[in-house]
Amino acid sequence: MSEPVAISESILAAHTEDSVAALAQRLDADDYANPFDSLNDWHLMRALAIHRPDLVRPYVHLVDQEPFDEE
């Protein structure tokens, strides 16, 4: 099982358009060896969407959550 990745400001600052595109491609393909790798990538994309929205704008559909009715 993969360990959760700590997402620091330096990790977020190191991302470029190319690295975010590669991250988005992995998430879109959803071809992970285990669900924890997928979850780590999703958390990273979400953190990038919050802290670096300019890089994530083309891929926001990968982190958007539809509101749902719990009833």
d(CA 35, CA 52): 25
- Domain regions of the chain by residue span: 9-62
More confident residue, 41 or 67: 41
Is the distance from CB of 8 to CB of 16 less than 8 angstroms?
no
**pLDDT-based confidence at residue 5 (cuts at 50, 70, 90):** low
pLDDT of residue 4: 66
**What is the value of pTM for the model shown?**
0.82
Amino acid at 21: A
d(CA 4, CA 39): 9
pLDDT beyond 60 at 68? no
13-65 tens-digit pLDDT: 999 999 999 999 999 999 999 999 999 999 999 999 999 999 999 999 998 76
